[in-house]
Amino acid sequence: MKKYFVLTILFVLPLVAYLFFASGINNFAKLPVLKKDVININTFSDKKFDDKISILIFLGDNIENKKGDILNLNQKIYKRFYKFNDFQFIAIGTKKINMQVENLVTQLQSGTNTEMTKWFFLLQESKYSKNLFESLGTDLKLDKFHGSPYVFIIDKKGFLRGRNDSDGIKFGYDMRSVAELNNYMVDDVKIILAEYRLALKKNNILDN
């Protein structure tokens, strides 16, 4: 009996442990798709933004009250992940904030010593921002400046990604909260990047 007990410990338990962790990987390796029919961002620009994981930001027509939050987002998320080839920030705003954007870019560059090559600013009429925001299908609303303190993860297919668990649905991440960026968004960006890197490995095509 002792011999069989030892064999059980040596062979069965490792198998059980493997199945447990494999099950966990299948359940948590992918960030849920929350909305598929999001308006294509290419609609607003001649530049093509397909086949990238995008962090979508709604600046509206006044970013002075969001500047500190954007700097936090840049520090916690952009600076951490911008070296991945398939990652980008897309900020939607109106044409009237052109000078504000120039000042913001200067602050972002000087404050973090980080390349701004993955930051893109699309300045259009406010109605386009509204249409894009509404196509996300969230329970959130734009503020009086047609902007939002929430930012969103859009995958390579243009689908909205986020959380859907026992705590409810998280469509976006509040950039006013450093805790939310650290405790939720960092992990979720890691998950979606890992998801695509695993796909590349399976196809023997490993991007940065």
Specify the pairing of strand 87-94 against strand 160-161: unpaired
Q: Are 71 and 79 in contact (CB under 8 A)?
A: no
Q: Rounded to whole angstroms, how far apart are CA atoms 87 and 93?
A: 20
Residues 6+ apart with CB under 8 A from 58: 91, 92, 93, 129, 133, 142, 146, 147, 148, 150
pLDDT at 123: 92
| Residues 6 or more apart whose Cβ sits within 8 Å of residue 177 | none
Instruction: Give me the pLDDT at residue 199, please.
Output: 72
Q: Which pLDDT does position 26 carry in this prediction?
A: 38
What does the pLDDT average to over 135-163? 96
DSSP per residue, 42-88: GGG-SS--TTSEEEEEEEET--GGGHHHHHHHIIIIIHHHTTSTTEE
The answer to whether the CB of 147 falls within 8 A of the CB of 60 is: yes
Percentage of the chain modeled with pLDDT above 70: 80
Q: What pLDDT digit, counting tens, does each position of 15-53 carry?
A: 444 444 444 433 446 899 999 999 998 887 777 777 899
CA distance linking residue 132 with residue 152, whole number of Å: 12
Distance from the first to the final alpha carbon of the chain = 53
pLDDT at 29: 62
Q: CA 11, CA 17: separation in Å to the nearest integer? A: 10
The answer on pLDDT for 5 being more than 60 is: no
What secondary structure does DSSP assign to 23-44, as a single string? HHHHHHSSPPEEES-PPPGGGG
Are 125 and 94 contacting, i.e. CB atoms less than 8 angstroms apart?
Answer: yes
Q: Which CATH architecture best describes the domain 31-202?
A: 3-Layer(aba) Sandwich (3.40)
pLDDT tens, position by position, 114-133:
788 999 999 988 888 999 99
Q: Which amino acid is at 133?
A: F
Greater pLDDT, 136 or 203: 136
Determine the average pLDDT of the residues in 60-64. 91
Percent of the chain residues topping a pLDDT of 90: 62
pLDDT at 3 over 60: no
The pLDDT mean for the chain works out to: 84
Output the six-digit token pair for 88.
């980008």
Question: Quick one: pLDDT at residue 166?
Answer: 87
Confidence at 186, pLDDT banded by 50, 70, 90: very high
Residue 81: pLDDT band with limits 50, 70, 90:
very high
Report field, pTM of the whole predicted structure over 0.85: no
Token pair of 188 as six digits: 């979720």
One-letter amino acid identity for 45? S
